[in-house]
Chains A and B, each alone.
Chain A
Amino acid sequence: MSSPTITRTGSSHRIGESAPRPDGIPKARGEFAFSSDLWAERMLWGATLRSPHPSARILSIDISAALAMPGVATVLTAEDVPGLSSFGLEHADQPVLASDVVRYQGEAIALVAADHPDTARKAVAAIRVEYETMAPLSDPRIALDATPIHPEGNLVRHLVIRHGDLDVEGEVQVEGSYEIGMQDQAFLGPESGMAIPTEDGGVELMISTQWLHVDRDQVAACLDLPVDKVHLTLAGVGGAFGAREDVSMQVHLCMLALRTGRPVKMVYSREESFFGHVHRHPAQLWYRHHADRNGRIVKVECRLLFDGGAYRSSSAAVIANAACFSMGPYLVPNAHVDATVVRTNNPTCGAMRGFGAVQTCFAHEAQMDKLADALGMDRIELRLLNALEPGHELITGQVITGTAPVAEVIRTLAAHPLPPAPDSITDSRLLPGGTGRTTDYSDVKRGIGFAVGFKNLCFSEGFDDFSTARVRVDGGIATVKCACAEVGQGFVTLAQQITTEILGVERVDLAPADTSIGSAGSTSASRQTWMSGGAVHAAATAVRDTLIARVARDEGVDITVLELVDGVVRSLDGTINISIVELTTAEPVEEEIEFHHAPTDELDENGQGNAHVSFAFSAHRAVTDVDPELGLVRLVDIATSQEVGRVLNPLQLTGQLEGGTAQGIGLALMEEIIVDESRVRNPSFTDYLIPTMLDLPDLQIAAIIEEPEPGAPFGAKGVGEAPTISSTPAVVAALRNATGLALTRVPVRPEHIALSADHLDD
């Protein structure tokens, strides 16, 4: 069987260097084992029957024809779920397999295991389900008045933030309504994994996920097994971006393996993947900004309505984030936020890079431009005037105690040179429409847009957020064990760098990420550098302290005269010099640490509380060439400034900024799951378009601002999400600048520009 382990010899790169990824070589050679590459003797293939209807009663399910097909090992339905019949990331409200009602198109109803993927697919098609279809609840605006589609009702969470004096009025007011379409994470590696029954009656699951332990707990509950009989190992993950935080096939695979007694592999097709994971919440937002004549914001009111789709997933946390960051990185003394996320029969929505802040940033940045225009002020000046600073109070009443160099982020980006506007462009690839030759340079108008955003790092609202790491040094070779899910972001590189930095060892190996150690929490919320990086840092530091204590004991000196430098424990007077190789060959050292960040509070009934541990800030400036007559766009230039605390690996940082920015651009210009009467119209890469290499210019990095964050290991902030937040509004601001249109919805489609009469100055 091919193994999912990632154990590589590390090089001796320290913090701050562009260390190469330990998995880079096997990935480049095509040898890295992704979850879809798993293979085992006597392996069966799993497949899932999904509802074609977004809302229906299930009257009957007949599996007999499927079961009778040659090559089919088993067919399972809800009756076969051994334990808890539902699962969910924060709350178990989604059936493992639907038995009486289906609440979204693509909901799982039955499972097949067979000798070939096509046999499994045929068997799925042979299962007869009798449905009584119902009109789906498709419009989130009527969800609260509609008949509940779930026993828990259609309201998932309603959150109000009341801050300051709500009766105050600004001399200048601007109002706007905004809408965000449903974005997909569109990772390249579809959901896949393999489950193998174990001799003790348990199961081994190799899976691509963002959070092994929360998967394990849900799987164990649904299988009615103790957690120690459910062992999960991270299989190679082909990207995540939030879409692997919820359980997809995990319980299903284990059910099939336990029933058949054989290894079972499952790989979703791209189409199934669109139905197999949650998406970014579509949102409808209304804002009114109040300012004084000088441009100081005096109050902001907003109403946020997020469509959570059929099940809760992480909707409650997403809406809290949307509300908390609804103002943008500005000082807003008085605010009223009314935020609601509802249940509908649309596809379930949950985590995606930016987690609620993407939606509100699109709106608050459009509002800031509007406000500047209404005041007759420069848009950058307005932002600088209102920029958050350390010591400022957020609308949740929380005072910023860490770093918040918002003004510097804005200033450095605004100072970055703009690309030249050429006299002519004849190469169609450099014009809107690209190789389709739709547009001549004379048809084009250029626009420039600017946006700033911010978001929390790590888990919030009182969640006890922690990660666990173990560092063992044996014969001078360090081995790091942590269940942190490497999904492409490069934690594996940082784990090596941190260990090398602390211990000075020349080689750091990484043990497989699995559930044989404590939880690392999720690879989400820009948290793993801080949390699992912090756990590795703490465990390596504990190893160092143990080694020093041992030498102090053996040599009869005080620990305060000893230090560990470049892999050698030495005394300050130079008389003691013992290498870590020698020390750990005699007696290996192992330390395990559970690392927690500072506790946070829940929000009270007015949305007040110290709910967040830290914040990251970023800004983007976009230059677009627009063909207003056809509504086509070419992104000419995109530049960013971001504050990161401290740079741990410049190359990986660049990769996060570029990749995160690209996803924000995609939302601005093309990416949307089109849902019509709760049915997905475009579940394919033919029709769900993500940017190609021809759609994205080189990202210009105007500034990386380093101000070490108190409390963060090495002072480093997570960097993954911020680039996705401010890029979308910057691109759309550039389109407004070029066209004079209001453009209040993303993605902006060609017809929104070409056929719109909604001008900004109307």
Chain B
Amino acid sequence: MTVLSPRTLAEACSAAASNPNADLLAGGTDLMVEVNSGHRRPTDVISLGAIAELREWSIGEDRITIGAGVTFAKIASGELATAAPALAMAARTVGSPQIRNAATLGGNLGTGSPAGDSLPVLAALNASVVLTSVHGQREIPLSEFCVGPKRTDRQPGELITAVRIDRLNGPQEFCKLGTRQAMVISVVSVAVVADTSSTSVRVGLGAVGPVPLRAPEAEAFAAEAINWSGQTSVDTETCRRFAELVRDAARPIDDHRSTAEYRRHATGVLAARALRRIFP
């Protein structure tokens, strides 16, 4: 029974290599729920909170690198919010202020819940996940990282160390629907981001599939429909068609939080609104 608190990434990788079945503890906001309920009894824990490298970020010309240990409170404001506004909008909806102070981007990925609030934005921003172990580092697209509900491609001994996302020129929007004004699990969430440089629109969907989804047909349609050089306002018909195509990309289920039918409907409505907001 141990709690290891490595202070460097190298130490952490060694610890993970020698305890491949250890529970990795970041913000604790998912792991401790399982522990408190008795569903998980950790024997070895590697606490990642003391590793300064994981709490750093850098904003490059084309890509933003965010350390896995950066909390949602940090993402929700400041320069990260300016560089990735949709991610900041999503970060603001993660749990409560208490949760946002503790919960990390890496943790959200590690849990890999379909309702994870950051995931649809990461999908829209072409995120890649950096995994590090004693054997080195690999960087894989989010679509390869998320393999199913709460299932990821992280291998024993590997740590999620960073996330890289596109830095775009253009407006971004994120909408999350739940049945309370705050502190609510997502019923549907939709991210729509535009890039004027590449004249592209990208869509990420949360809680309407086993993994975060994109809407390629809707994205292609919007890229085509938008007059990138001149007046960027979108008309009602474009929004309607875009909504339809996004809705078709959703693969929702019925559960105690909502119905598949409503989720599909709301996906389209939110997509249209997001598009309307970014091209008013």
Contacts and interface: CB of A to CB of B under 8 A. Distances in A.
A654 B266 CA distance: 39
Interface stretch (A295-303, A321-329, A627-635, A701-709): A627-635
A118 B182 contact: no
B214 interface: no
B46 to A, nearest CB: 21
Contacts of B167: none
A436 B178 CA distance: 8
A433 interface: yes
Contacts of B225: none
Interface stretch (A200-208, A253-261, A312-320, A690-698): A690-698
Contacts of A433: 175, 177, 181
B181 A634 contact: yes
A443 B273 contact: yes
A436 B256 contact: no
A670 B180 contact: yes
A692 B266 contact: no
B176 to A, nearest CB: 4
Contacts of B173: 437
Contact of B257 (A429, A634, A687, A695): A687
A755 B36 CA distance: 38
A347 to B, nearest CB: 15
Most buried by B among A118, A271, A686: A686
B47 interface: no
Nearest to B96: A692
Given A670-B180, A755-B262, A437 B89 contact: yes
Given A437-B89, A634-B181, A754 B266 contact: yes
Contact of A755 (B179, B184, B185, B265): B265
B177 A755 contact: no
B261 interface: yes
Given A443-B273, A754-B266, A689 B181 contact: no
B159 interface: no
Nearest to B173: A437
Interface string A698-741: 00000000000000000000000000000000000000000000
A416 B224 CA distance: 54
B92 interface: yes
A437 B174 CA distance: 7
Contacts of A676: 256
Contacts of A437: 89, 173-176
A619 B89 CA distance: 39
A749 B181 CA distance: 14
A429 B180 CA distance: 11
B182 A434 contact: yes
B182 A681 contact: no
Contact of A686 (B93, B185, B262): B185
Contact of A121 (B38, B89, B176): B38
Of the candidates B93, B177, B257, the one having the most CB atoms from chain A within 10 angstroms of its own CB is B177
A479 B89 CA distance: 56
Interface string B232-264: 000000000000000000000000111101100
A359 to B, nearest CB: 21
Nearest to A682: B256
Instruction: Please tell me the size bucket of the interface on A.
Output: 35 or more
Contacts of B36: 269
Interface string A112-138: 000000100110010000000000000
A751 B185 contact: no
A414 interface: no
B85 to A, nearest CB: 11
Contact of A694 (B175, B176, B182): B182
B269 interface: yes
Contacts of B184: 436, 689
A754 B183 CA distance: 22
A722 to B, nearest CB: 26
A284 B262 CA distance: 24
Contacts of A674: 256
B186 to A, nearest CB: 8
Contacts of A480: none
B103 interface: no
A666 to B, nearest CB: 10
Interface string A643-679: 0000000000000000000000000011000101000
Taking chain A's interface residues, is the majority helix, strand, or loop, or is none over half, making it mixed? loop
B180 A691 contact: yes
A436 B89 CA distance: 8
Contacts of B89: 437
A751 B180 contact: no
A670 B38 contact: no
Given A437-B89, A754-B265, A118 B185 contact: no
Contact of B180 (A122, A681, A695): A695
A585 interface: no
Interface string A396-438: 0000000000000000000000000000000001000111111
B93 A435 contact: yes
B179 A749 contact: yes
A552 to B, nearest CB: 64
B273 A438 contact: yes
Interface in B123-181: 173-181
A234 to B, nearest CB: 28
B270 interface: yes
Nearest to A47: B38
Nearest to B35: A118
B103 to A, nearest CB: 14
Interface string B63-89: 000000000000000000000000001
A682 B258 CA distance: 12
Interface in B90-133: 92-93
A755 B273 contact: no
A750 B270 CA distance: 14
B273 A440 contact: yes
B231 interface: no
B7 interface: no
A755 B175 CA distance: 20
Contacts of B269: 629-630, 754
Contacts of B181: 429, 433-435, 634, 692, 694-695
Given A436-B93, A687-B256, A750 B179 contact: yes
B37 interface: yes
Given A118-B38, A436-B93, A681-B256, A689 B179 contact: yes
A440 B179 contact: no
Nearest to B256: A681
A470 to B, nearest CB: 43
B266 A435 contact: no
A753 B189 CA distance: 19
A749 B189 CA distance: 17
Q: Which of B38, B41, B187 gathers the greatest number of chain A CB atoms within 10 Å?
A: B38
Contacts of B175: 433, 436-438
Interface string A604-633: 000000000000000000000000011110
Contacts of B180: 434, 670, 689, 691-692, 694-695
Nearest to A122: B38
B184 to A, nearest CB: 7
Nearest to A747: B179
5 contacts: A435-B92, A438-B175, A670-B180, A692-B183, A694-B181
Shortest 8 CB-CB distances between A and B: which pairs?
Answer: A434-B181, A681-B256, A751-B262, A436-B176, A694-B181, A694-B182, A695-B181, A121-B38
Given A437-B176, A440-B277, A751-B262, 14 more contacts: A118-B41, A437-B173, A438-B175, A438-B177, A438-B273, A439-B273, A629-B269, A630-B269, A670-B180, A676-B256, A691-B180, A695-B180, A749-B179, A750-B258
